[in-house]
Structure 1
Amino acid sequence: MTMDVTFPASLPLVMRHEAFAERRRQLDDQLDDENRRWWHAALEQLASQPSANTLVLLSSQCKRRFGNAEVSASPGWNRTQLARALLLEQLLEQQAGGDQLALLRQLFLWGDDQEKSVLLRVLDDLDTEGRSLELALQAGRTNNREVFAALALDNPFPARHYHDRAFHQLLLKTLGMGLDSGRIEGLAQRHSVDLNQLALEHMEEQLAAFRSVSDRLPHAIAFELLSQAQRQRLRHLCQQRRLPPHWLQHLPPDA
């Protein structure tokens, strides 16, 4: 897990190129001859005019060209998203001698919600060392559900680089937005007494407001680390039918 580390601005990002090579193959398999010609011309244009302005222009054209057709080989991705991810990688690679981190921040700032989401989804592949941690933390403050989900769900970046407090806040916001916290990568490895307390406080707040408690909340709790009083409280809530009965399955027999 990355702690507070200062990186020189000139240090290049360490990217996971093999992941983008696979995305290139998946996208190419989806294109007909006309769209493939356009796509190769777009990559050549970015290579000859490597700038954020060029990328923004091509990104908007990708949506008109490729639409939202799903990519069967990459569940959860469509052709436009794959193309935008590949444009990001190419531009950052071309700027290896410059301040890639500043460019990444600029692209995030300029992007619409869909473009921001793509950037966050591939952030771990663009930056394997976590130099963009501050960008991720800033992005996590959004109230846009799509953008936040791109950061929080099925994304290894927070698991690898967030300190515990930031990770806990990510979890609570995921629950607060009604997203599936079971899709937060590395959640089980962050189990602790402190996280138990936060999860139970969230549960009590939901109950006090007469809201339903997320079925995924047990994924955030290390039941073996609960105090006897906490276990008794959960059993009592289940008996009152204020919590679903399946919570009892997580409690030790002596609870």
Structure 2
Amino acid sequence: MTMDVTAPSPTLVIRHEAFAERRRLLEQPLDTDTRAWWQQALEQLAAQPSANTLVLLSSQCRRRLGDIPVSPGWNRTQLARAVLLAELLEHQEVAGQQPLLRQLFLWGDDQEKCVLLKVLDDLDSQGCCLELALQAGRTNNREVFAAIALDNPFVAHHYQDRAFHQLLLKTLGMGLDCGRIAGLEQRLSVDLNQLALEHMEEHLAAGRSVSDSLPQAIAFDLLSQAQHQRLRGLCQQQRLPAHWLGHLQPGT
């Protein structure tokens, strides 16, 4: 199954202010010894800006910085790895940035892949690494998939509808909350309704429960009268959770 790919931008456009803020959040609470190591790490990367240097420093981050939460969804190690990624790319020739990012994704462990994906929209605000994001979305690793699928603005900004719809269906299939897909509300449509309802019917036919988040993928005001009646009947038969009734128009 293929996904649509838009024409890529030739160069990475990095949102420097986003990484400056991540660096500030990381550095502010560091003690003297940890701050000294961190400064040495940045200097080492500047002196030897290569994938090998980044991999070495990234492996040291957990031991040196730990998993202490800093902000929602971020701990010290994740912030450090994100900043190091941006710093390394800054030291590359334009032509080498995309290949380097792909190399780092292939080399990274699951946690490193997740960090790269979470900051992909800030590393590549123009979407030239769309194929990398689509590749990540093909994984069966739930943690890595969640990093691209959930709360990730890259999806909202750069996925065409077909790729977006496939990502949503896989999110549901993996038991994740599709309501956390960035830009979902703006993508609601008759076509997405059909896909969501087909997904629901497949689960019901197989005797499987329907995701609690599925209603967030449906534009109920765009449903046909027949679709409304079908959903209302399923609720009355207790084949769908009662909260679905709250989305349905009275009298349908």
Tell me whether the two structures share a fold, i.e. TM-score over 0.5: yes
Residues 55-77 of structure 1, C-alpha deviations (whole Å, 9 max, x = no match):
00000011111121111xx2111
Number of equivalenced pairs: 249
For 1:4, the equivalent position in structure 2 comes to: 6
CA distance in 2: counterparts of 1:109 and 1:176, whole angstroms: 25
The residue that corresponds to 1:17 in the other structure is: 16
Q: 1:4: Cα distance to partner?
A: 2.3
1:251 Cα deviation (Å)?
A: 1.0
Q: CA deviation at 1:212?
A: 1.2
Counterpart check, 1:222 vs 2:219: yes
TM-score of the pair, normalised by structure 2:
0.96
Alignment of 1:59-98 (within 5 A): 59-71=58-70, 74-98=71-95
- TM-score (ref. length: structure 1): 0.95
Letter in 2 for 1:176: G
User: Partner of 1:164 in structure 2?
Assistant: 161
Cα offset, 1:202, TM superposition: 0.7
Q: Does structure 1 conserve the Cα–Cα contact (< 8 Å) formed by 2:105 and 2:113?
A: yes
For residues 193-215 of structure 1, give each alpha carbon's deviation from its aligned partner in whole angstroms, at most 9, with x where no partner exists: 11001100111111112111111
Contiguous gaps of at least 5 residues in structure 2:
none
Letter of the aligned partner of 1:4 in structure 2?
A: T
Tell me, in whole angstroms, the C-alpha distance in 1 between the residues paired with 2:93 and 2:199: 44
1:61 is paired with a residue of what secondary structure?
A: helix
- 2:74 alignment partner, SS class: coil
C-alpha distance in 2 between matches for 1:212 and 1:223: 20
Change (3 A) 1:143 1:3: closer
- How many percent of aligned residue pairs carry the same amino acid? 76
Shift of 1:162: 0.3
Alpha-carbon distance in 2 for matches of 1:222, 1:3: 25
Q: Distance in 2 between matches of 1:143 and 1:68?
A: 25
Q: What displacement does 1:7 show?
A: 3.9
Residue 113 of structure 1: aligned partner = 110
Shift of residue 80 of structure 1? 0.4
User: What SS class does the counterpart of residue 252 from structure 1 fall into?
Assistant: coil
Q: Which residue of 1 aligns with 2:138?
A: 141
Alignment of 1:35 with 2:34, yes or no, is yes
Q: Tell me if the contact between 1:70 and 1:78 (Cα under 8 Å) persists in the aligned partners.
A: yes
2:182: which partner in 1? 185
Aligned with residue 238 of structure 2, among 238, 241, 246: 241
4+ residue segments displaced more than 6 Å: none
Cα offset, 1:98, TM superposition: 3.5
User: CA–CA distance in 2 between the matches of 1:30 and 1:100?
Assistant: 31
- In structure 2, the partner of 1:58 is 57
User: 1:214 and 1:30 mapped to 2: Cα distance?
Assistant: 40
Indicate the residue corresponding to 2:47 in structure 1. 48
After alignment, is 117-126 or 203-212 more displaced?
A: 203-212
1:97, distance to aligned residue in structure 2 (A): 3.6
Q: Is the 8 A contact 1:30 1:79 kept in 2?
A: no
1:254: Cα distance to partner?
3.2
The one-letter code of the counterpart of 2:39 is H
Uncovered stretches (5+) of structure 1, i.e. residues with no partner: none
Q: Distance in 2 between matches of 1:96 and 1:246?
A: 54
Distance 1:83 1:26 in 2: 10
Given residue 66 of structure 2, which amino acid in structure 1 is its aligned partner? G
d(CA) in 2 for partners of 1:182, 1:85:
25
Moved more, 236-245 or 209-218: 209-218
Question: Structure 2 CA distance, aligned partners of 1:31 and 1:209?
Answer: 53
The separation in 2 between residues aligned to 1:30 and 1:197, in whole angstroms, is 49
| Aligned partner of residue 182 in structure 1, secondary structure | helix
Structure 1 residue 92 displacement after superposition? 0.5
Q: CA deviation at 1:36?
A: 0.5
Q: State how far apart, in whole Å, the 2-side matches of 1:57 and 1:234 are.
A: 54
